[in-house]
Amino acid sequence: MSKITVLGAGSWGTALALVLCDNQHQVTLWTHNSEQKLQLEKDRVNNKYLPGVSLPNSLHISDNLNQSVDEADAILLVVPTKAIRNVCKQLNAILDKPTLIIHASKGIEPDTHLRISEMIREELDESQIKDIVVLSGPSHAEEVGLRHPTTVTAASEIKDTAKTTQELFMNSYFRVYTSTDVIGVELGGALKNIIALGAGISDGLEYGDNAKAALITRGLAEITRLATNLGANPLTFIGLSGVGDLIVTCTSVHSRNWRAGNLFGKGMNIDEVEEELGMVAEGIRTTKAVFQLANKINVKMPITQGIHTIIFDDEEPKKVVDYLMKRAPTNEMDDISEMLRTRLSD
């Protein structure tokens, strides 16, 4: 049994805390919101973020970060990307020994274009980090909360800590694979949210299955192209954190990003979408970050560019689709050959 502290009591933090409780670990779920702490303790259900799922009696709820992480064997960070630095700054003032940090958030920071593990390394001292493991894959909290079969990947360059993470989470309904491709796994989880916005927009326009299949497939080519340029293994993108997460996020009504896209497709603007959603759709900020990054390093990402125009320039979705369809004709496999060439020349 390990002592594990989950930071972030949203849908995913709550669902992962349940998995860890089912595995007989000693688990604390930390929320920064004292009203939420009282609500969780009183109802033993996360009414706002994971309704209908009972919290196990063994789950300890806290709003005190200091006490929550005291003597923790591992810390699981699951706050939205925009809160990562703030939470890490608070941890920086507290942690007094090398700690295993596992993160399950999915995003890229605008302006710096950093992945989450890179942001964590900027905020914590080296002496506070035993390792940072990325936990990512096709996994909606709503289904994990029901203990439906789910598979994810735990990625670290240090095989032992990826294995430790696998052992902490693995059970009969939650299967964990390991990987050493931290860049690929982290980017796969973050970038698919952009394409999920696109799938939602397409469904909001009622374009049907052909358009969505096109978005998923060409979206995969586009995000793999960027990730390979940033050092990821292209093969990671035919795995759980690549095509796996794209499928689940682009096709599920549980997806916050798909739902946000759907609202954009129906004509709402960014303020209206964020208000209506009430939960984090990471793809919105990630679209901004990736649009900047792709321009900076000169990687072609037409779908991301189009979604950026819809979200941040209020462009009509139909006009963007028209632009995408009328681009100069190309050869489908150019991408793949280019990626393999890059990989083989490494």
Ligand X SMILES: NC(=O)C1=CN([C@@H]2O[C@H](COP(=O)(O)OP(=O)(O)OC[C@H]3O[C@@H](n4cnc5c(N)ncnc54)[C@H](O)[C@@H]3O)[C@@H](O)[C@H]2O)C=CC1
Ligand Y SMILES: O=C(CO)COP(=O)(O)O
212: annotated active-site residue: no
Asked if 225 is part of the footprint of ligand Y (rule: CB under 6 A), the reply reads: no
Is 144 annotated to bind a ligand? Reply is no
Asked if 222 is part of the footprint of ligand Y (rule: CB under 6 A), the reply reads: no
Asked if 256 is part of the footprint of ligand Y (rule: CB under 6 A), the reply reads: yes
> How many other C-beta atoms can be found within 10 angstroms of the C-beta atom of residue 139?
23
Asked if 249 is part of the footprint of ligand Y (rule: CB under 6 A), the reply reads: yes
Q: Which string of x and - marks every residue 80-99 that binds ligand X (by CB under 6 A)?
A: xx-x--xx------------
β-pairing, 129-136 vs 26-30, is unpaired
β-pairing, 150-155 vs 129-136, is antiparallel
- On whether the CB atoms of residues 232 and 183 are closer than 8 A, the answer is yes
Give the HSE-up count for residue 26: Cα atoms under 13 Å, Cβ half-sphere: 9
Q: How far is CA 194 from the centre of its chain?
A: 11
154 membership: H or E segment, kind and range: strand 150-155
Smallest separation, CB 280 to ligand X (Å): 4
Determine which residue in the list 5, 14, 105, 139 makes contact with ligand Y, applying CB under 6 A.
139
Asked if 186 is part of the footprint of ligand Y (rule: CB under 6 A), the reply reads: no
Asked if 140 is part of the footprint of ligand X (rule: CB under 6 A), the reply reads: yes
Is 8 annotated to bind a ligand? Reply is yes
Q: Is 243 helix (H, G, I), strand (E, B) or coil?
A: helix
CA–CA separation, 197 and 249 (whole Å): 9
Determine which residue in the list 29, 141, 154, 183 makes contact with ligand X, applying CB under 6 A.
141
Asked if 49 is part of the footprint of ligand X (rule: CB under 6 A), the reply reads: yes
Kindly name the residue from 192, 212, 288, 296 that is annotated as catalytic: 192
Choose among 291, 265, 272: nearest CA to 211: 265
Q: Which residues contact 72 (CB under 8 A, 6 or more apart)?
A: 3, 4, 5, 28, 99
Asked if 282 is part of the footprint of ligand X (rule: CB under 6 A), the reply reads: yes
The encoded tokens of residue 158 equal: 């240090």
Is 22 annotated to bind a ligand? Reply is no
Determine which residue in the list 257, 304, 305, 309 makes contact with ligand Y, applying CB under 6 A.
257
CA–CA separation, 220 and 207 (whole Å): 19
Is 245 annotated to bind a ligand? Reply is yes
- Residues marked as catalytic: 192
Which stretches of the chain bind ligand Y, using CB under 6 A? 106, 138-140, 193, 196, 245, 248-249, 255-257, 282
Residues belonging to the binding site for substrate are 106, 256-257
Which stretches of the chain bind ligand X, using CB under 6 A? 8-13, 31-33, 49, 78-81, 83, 86-87, 104-107, 139-141, 279-280, 282
